[in-house]
Amino acid sequence: MSEKLLVPDIGEFEKVEVIELLVKVGDKINLDDPVVTIESDKSSVEIPSTVSGKIQSINVKVGDKVSKGDLLLNVVSSNQESSVKPIPKDTESIIKQAESALKNEKIEKTVQKKLIEEKKQTIIQVTNNNDIDPLETQDWLESLSAVVEKDGNQRAHFLIKELINKAYREGANIPYTQHTPYINTIPPEAELKSNGDQNIERRIRSLIRWNAAAMVVRANKKFPELGGHIGTFASAATLYDVGMNHFWRAKNNKFGGDLIYFQGHSAPGVYARAFLEGRLNEKQLDRFRQEVELGGLSSYPHPWLMPNFWQFPTVSMGLGPMLAIYQARYMKYLINRGLIKDEGRKVWAFLGDGEMDEPESLGAIGLAAREKLDNLIFVVNCNLQRLDGPVRGNGKIIQELEGSFRGAGWNVIKVIWGSYWDSLIANDKTGHLVKIMNETVDGEYQAMKARNGSYVREKFFGKYPETEELVSSLSDKDIWRLNRGGHDPHKVYAAYDKASKNQGSPTVIIAKTIKGYGMGKTGESVNTTHQTKKLDDFDLLYYRDRFDVPLTDEQVKNVEYFKPDEKSPEIKYIKEKRMNLGGPLPERTTYSKPIKAPAKNIFDFMKVSTGEKEMSTTMALVRMLTNLLRDKNVSPRLVPIIPDEARTFGMEGFFQKIGIYAHEGQKYEPEDSAQLSSYREDKSGQVLEEGINEAGAMSSWIAAATSYTNHDIEMIPIYIFYSMFGFQRIGDLAWAAGDSQARGFLIGATAGRTTLAGEGLQHQDGHSHLVASTIPNCISYDPTFHYELAVIFREGLRRMHEKNENVFYYITTMNENYSHPAIPKDKNCEKGILKGMYKIKEFNRYKKTKIQLLGSGTILREMMKAAEILQNEYKIDSEIWSVTSFNELRRDGMEVERYNLLNPDKEQKISFVEQCLGKTEGPIMAASDYMRMNSDQIRPYTNKSFYSLGTDGYGRSDTRKNLRKFFEVDKEHIVAYGLSVLAKEQLIASKYAKEAIKKYNIDGSKPMPTKI
Ligand SMILES: Cc1ncc(C[n+]2csc(CCOP(=O)(O)OP(=O)(O)O)c2C)c(N)n1
Ligand SMILES: [Mg+2]
C-alpha cells in the first residue's frame, strides 16, 4: 500500500526551503528516519518519516519551498498497520494517569464529605511555650512514645502528618517550621556502629593532624610569605578520616569510583594522609606551596598543577557545591542515557559553613532535590567561624542551613553533639538542656570553646537550675570533654552510613566542629584561627600532647614529621582500609578512549558558497551540529547545553531529534505535541536544557568536559550562550574549567558589540575574547564564514577528543545573516584559519599605494566592502586578511619573541603575523567587533605601522548600521580612516582623507564612544 508523507506542522513557518534530501527513490526507510532537511531563516530541522517502507517517489527537490501539508514522498508501506499511528507511549500513560486520577477524585470526594459531616466544633489552640494544660500535653506525648515504641518512627511520622493536615483543614494556623531541635538527627539508639578499630584510627588521625600542621609550619618557617591553613583541617580531620577509612570507594578496573570534592583549605590534611599512605614523601611535603619547580604540592586542589592527584578545583568558595551538584546530575544523565553503568557511585562535597554564604553554594540546591540526586552528599563543616569571625554570631548557622536544605527537599542529618552528651540528653527529663541548646547563639558557642570547663558550666549549664543540677556530678574537665558531633567518629560514621543509604533525595550532613580543634589557646575557636600558619614551641608541644603524637620535645621543636614504620599496625591499617575501598584517594586517572574525528568531508557542505542564500554563523553552526548527529562516532557523545535560548539560536529542532534530558521523562503531553519541533522531554534525552541559569549550564559543561577522567568516557559538550553572558558572567567557573583540564566547546552566540543590534548595553559583547584570552588553555576564534567555522570546529574535535589535548575552544558566532563564499583555493588557507589569519582577498589593480586590512567576525565584511571602495574610488590597492583569532596570533607572537630574546645567538624565528605581513606593502589597519585591545594584541609582532579600530565603550540599542557608524567600524569609517592612515604614512595627500571624512558625514569633533 502506498503512503503519502506530508510536511508536518512546522509551527508558524510557511514556505520553508528544502536544503537537503536525505533519501532517494528505492531506499528503505524506517519509522522516524529523517528524510528531508528544511530550513527557515532561523533554523533547520529534519523531517522524520511517519511510515516504514520503500520510497516510491520523491516530490520535492533541494531549493523547493514547502509548507504544512505539502507532499514530500510516496512510500510503499512495509507494514499495513504502520499507517495507523499507534498512540504514543507517553500519551497512553497520560491517559492512564488521568483515568486513575478520576477514580481517586471520586474516592476523595466521598472522604471529604464524610469529614465535613464528622467535623466537630473543637478549637485547636497552638500554645507555643505557654502550655495551658501540661497534663494533656503529657498524655499526647506518651501516646506518641507508645507509637514510636510499637510501630516505629515512620508510623509516628505518619500520624503527626495526619494530625497536622487535620488541624490545617479545621482552620488552625499551623506555624511552619523547618527546624528540628538543636540536637542530632540520628538518636543514639539508631546509630550504626563502625566496625573499625577506634584506637588505631584515633592514632592515625592524630598523626595526620600533626603532619598537616607541621607541613604548614615548616613551609612558613622557611618562607613566611607562603601562607597556609591549619585551623580548617584541624576542624575537619574526623570528617575526612571516617570517609577515607570506611566509605569512599576509589576508581579501579571494577568500579567507577566515588567523587570527592575536598574543601580547598583542608588540602594539608589530604597531603598528610597521602604521606602516611606512602603516596607522598617528606621531600614533597616540604615543597608545600612551592610549585615552581616540578614536584611541589599545590596550595589548594588544582588538577592543572597536580594532574595525577587532584580531581576538582574547589578553593574559590561556592564553586565546589555547585560543581558537585551538577556532577551528580551529570552522572545520572550518563546512566539514563545508557553511557555508563549505575554502580551506586556517590558525589561527596565538603564545604565550609562560611562558604555557604556564597549565593552559588545554595543556588542550585533546588535542582538537586528536584532531580532526586540521591547520589549526592554534602558535608558542611560547621566550625561556626569563617575568616574574620563567627559565621552567625547572633544566630545559628546549623539551624539556618537545616531550614534552607529541608525547605528545598533535601534529607538533612545534623551531627551536633558527640557521644559524651548522649547520657546528658537522655537525662534531660525537663527539656531544659535542649532548651538551652536551642537558645544559645553561635557567638556564645564559639566563645565557650575558646575558654574552659568552668566557663561552660557557668555560662551554659548555669542558665537554669535544672541544667546546673544535670551536670552537678561532672568536673570542669568532664564538661570540657563534652564533644561536638563532627569530632566524634561514631556520630560521623552513623551519619555517613545513613546518608549513603538514603534514596530519592540528596543528603546534607551538617556537622558541628571547632575551628582549630586541638590548637590550644592561640588557635582553638578564636577569631584569628583561620590565618594561623605558625605555631610556636609552646603551641606545638600542646598539640603533640593533645593528640599523643610520639615525638620528643626536641623533635617537636624541630617540627619533624612523624611516620610510623611501614610494618606498624597504623600503616598497615591505613593501607588496608584504602585497599578494601579500591585504592587511594584522591587520584586523577584517565582511561577513556578517544573519539575518532569525523571525516573531513562531513564538513564539505560548508566549504562551498551558499550563493544567494544568507545565513548567520549561528545557523551554520546548528546545521553543522545537525550533520554531526549523523556521525555514528560523534553523535552519541555530543552534549548540547543550552540555558533557555534554543529558540534564539534556532536549535529547537534538537528537541524532537535528540530530546531534552529529564530524569522523569515527560509526564504531560506538550502543548505543541503536533508540531515537528515539539518540546520533547525524555529520560534518555541528550540536550541539557538548563533554564535561565548560566552558572548551572557552565557547571554541567564542566562535568561533561571532564567526563574523560571522572567517568572514563570522552564526551563532547557544546554549551551555547549569549556571548555577553558567558565569560563575563561565569568567568570564575571558566577559570576552574581550565584548571580541571576541560575539553569541549563554548559557543558565544549573538556575539559582537554592533552585531547584536537591538538588545543594548547589557547584551552587546565587545570583550569576551579578551576575557577568554586570559585562560591559558582556552583557544578562541571569531570566524566570519561558514567554512572557517567548519575548519576550526573539526580541528577542535581532532585536538581535544581524538588527540586528547587538554584545551577547550571558545568560538563566537553571530546572528547577522549574509551569504558565505566558498573556501579559498589557496592550500595554506586552512592552516591560516587555525593559526589565526589568512589572506582572503587582494585588490591589486593600480600597484601604487597599498594598505593591509585585517578584519575579524562580521567587521571583516565591512573591511571587504571598504576595500572595494578604496580600490574603485581612490585607486588604493589592498590585501584583506581574515583574522580568525587575534588571541592565537598573540600567543604565537609572544612565544616567538620570547624564544628570540632568549636565544640571541640562534637563528631568529618569525612570528606567524610577521610571516603573513612582513613582506607586504603599506601600513596595517585592523578592526573587529570587539574593543581595540583585541586587535592591538598583535601590534608588537610586526614592524609595520599598525592602527586599529574597535568597539570600545558601552553598547546601546540601535540598528546594526547606526551602531557601526557610532563605533566607527562601518565601511565608511574604514575608508576614511584608511585614507587618513595612508596620509599619515605620507603615502597619499591628506586631502583625500579630509574629503572622505566630509563625504561620509563623519563628525571629527564627536567625542570618543567610550565617553558617551
Ligand atoms: C570566592 C572566595 N572568596 C574568598 C575566599 C577567601 N577565603 C578563603 S577561606 C575563607 C573563610 C572560609 O570559611 P569557611 O567556609 O567557614 O571555612 P573553614 O575554614 O571555617 O572551614 C575565605 C573568606 C575564597 N577562597 N574564595
Ligand atoms: Mg567555617
Q: Is the peptide bond preceding residue 717 cis, with omega within 30 degrees of 0? A: no
Q: Nearest Cα to 38, choosing from 24, 53, 21, 56?
A: 21
Q: Nearest Cα to 506, choosing from 412, 596, 426, 644?
A: 412
Half-sphere exposure of 414 (CA within 13 A, CB side): 20
Backbone φ, ψ for residue 818 (5° rounding): -155, 165
| Mean pLDDT (the chain, rounded) | 93
Question: DSSP of 731-760, one letter per residue?
Answer: HHHHHHHHHTT--SEEEEES-STTTS-TT-
pLDDT at residue 115, rounded to an integer? 42
pLDDT at residue 161, rounded to an integer? 85
202 vs 199: CA distance, rounded Å: 5
Lowest mean pLDDT among 50-54, 598-602, 617-621, 993-997: 598-602
Confidence of residue 14 (pLDDT cuts 50, 70, 90): confident
Distance 346 CA to ligand 1 centre (A): 25
Ligand nearest to the Cα of 318, by number: 1
Place of cell 499507517: 83
**pLDDT exceeds 80 at position 922:** yes
Atom of ligand 1 nearest to the CA of 352: 15
The string of pLDDT tens digits covering residues 154-173 is 899 899 888 888 887 888 87
Distance 135 CA to ligand 2 centre (A): 43
Name the closest-CA residue to atom 19, ligand 1: 232
840 CB near ligand 1 (under 6 Å) = no
Confidence of residue 39 (pLDDT cuts 50, 70, 90): confident
CB 60, CB 38: distance < 8 Å:
no
Ligand nearest to the Cα of 237, by number: 1
562 vs 359: CA distance, rounded Å: 41
957 CB near ligand 1 (under 6 Å) = no
C-alpha angle 817-822-824 in degrees, rounded to nearest 5: 130
Partnered with residue 808 across adjacent β-strands are: 778
Distance 509 CA to ligand 2 centre (A): 14
Question: What are the helix (H) ranges across 260-364?
Answer: 267-276, 282-285, 319-336, 359-363
352 CB near ligand 1 (under 6 Å) = yes
**pLDDT exceeds 70 at position 419:** yes
Confidence of residue 122 (pLDDT cuts 50, 70, 90): very low
83 vs 784: CA distance, rounded Å: 46
pLDDT at residue 426, rounded to an integer? 95
CB 40, CB 33: distance < 8 Å:
no
CB 248, CB 258: distance < 8 Å:
yes
Cell of 961: 548600521
pLDDT at residue 116, rounded to an integer? 39
**pLDDT exceeds 90 at position 10:** no
Query: At what angle are helices 694-705 and 727-739 packed, to 10 degrees?
Result: 20
| Cα-based distances in Å from 783 to 878, 882, 986 | 21, 8, 33
Confidence of residue 121 (pLDDT cuts 50, 70, 90): very low
Q: What does the pLDDT average to over 663-673?
A: 96
Lowest mean pLDDT among 104-108, 226-230, 822-826: 104-108
Lowest mean pLDDT among 93-102, 558-567, 913-922, 951-960: 93-102
Cell of 741: 583540564
The string of pLDDT tens digits covering residues 254-282 is 999 999 999 999 999 999 999 999 999 99
**pLDDT exceeds 90 at position 106:** no
CB 263, CB 594: distance < 8 Å:
no
Atom of ligand 1 nearest to the CA of 391: 16
Provide the pairing of β-strand 660-661 with 411-415: unpaired
Distance 239 CA to ligand 1 centre (A): 18
Lowest mean pLDDT among 90-104, 128-142, 279-293: 90-104
The string of pLDDT tens digits covering residues 935-949 is 999 999 999 999 999
Distance 262 CA to ligand 2 centre (A): 14
- What amino acid is encoded at 779 in this protein? I
Q: What does the pLDDT average to over 89-96?
A: 52
Lowest mean pLDDT among 13-17, 551-555, 984-988: 13-17
CB 718, CB 625: distance < 8 Å:
yes
Cell of 82: 504502520
Query: Which strand (E) or helix (H) includes residue 260?
Result: strand 259-261
530 CB near ligand 1 (under 6 Å) = yes
pLDDT at residue 97, rounded to an integer? 57
CB 200, CB 569: distance < 8 Å:
yes
Atom of ligand 1 nearest to the CA of 316: 26
Distance 238 CA to ligand 2 centre (A): 15
Place of cell 581612490: 874
Confidence of residue 43 (pLDDT cuts 50, 70, 90): confident
**pLDDT exceeds 50 at position 87:** no
The string of pLDDT tens digits covering residues 965-975 is 999 999 999 99
392 CB near ligand 1 (under 6 Å) = no
**pLDDT exceeds 90 at position 41:** no
Question: Among residues of the chain, what percentage have pLDDT more than 70?
Answer: 95
| Cα-based distances in Å from 781 to 60, 290, 804 | 38, 35, 20
362, 530, 533, best to mutate for ligand 1 pocket (most atoms within 8 Å of CB): 530
- What amino acid is encoded at 502 in this protein? N
448 vs 440: CA distance, rounded Å: 11
Confidence of residue 176 (pLDDT cuts 50, 70, 90): low
Name the closest-CA residue to atom 16, ligand 1: 354
| Cα-based distances in Å from 680 to 42, 601, 676, 728, 742 | 20, 31, 10, 31, 29
**pLDDT exceeds 80 at position 114:** no
The string of pLDDT tens digits covering residues 283-336 is 999 999 999 999 999 999 999 999 999 999 999 999 999 999 999 999 999 999
Distance 354 CA to ligand 1 centre (A): 6
The string of pLDDT tens digits covering residues 426-458 is 999 999 999 999 999 999 999 998 899 999 999
Confidence of residue 11 (pLDDT cuts 50, 70, 90): confident
* Greater pLDDT, 822 or 117: 822
Q: Does the CA dihedral 986-990-992-998 come out positive or negative?
A: positive
Name the closest-CA residue to atom 13, ligand 1: 386
239, 263, 265, best to mutate for ligand 1 pocket (most atoms within 8 Å of CB): 265
Provide the pairing of β-strand 808-812 with 837-843: unpaired
316 CB near ligand 1 (under 6 Å) = yes
315 CB near ligand 1 (under 6 Å) = yes
Question: Among residues of the chain, what percentage have pLDDT more than 90?
Answer: 83
Q: What does the pLDDT average to over 507-516?
A: 97
Distance 526 CA to ligand 2 centre (A): 12
Distance 502 CA to ligand 1 centre (A): 29
Helix (H/G/I), strand (E/B), else coil: 147: helix
Distance 513 CA to ligand 2 centre (A): 9
Name the closest-CA residue to atom 10, ligand 1: 387
**pLDDT exceeds 80 at position 177:** no
528: CB partners within 8 A, 6+ apart: none
The string of pLDDT tens digits covering residues 757-793 is 999 999 999 999 999 999 999 999 999 999 999 999 9
**pLDDT exceeds 70 at position 98:** no
**pLDDT exceeds 80 at position 885:** yes
Atom of ligand 1 nearest to the CA of 515: 20
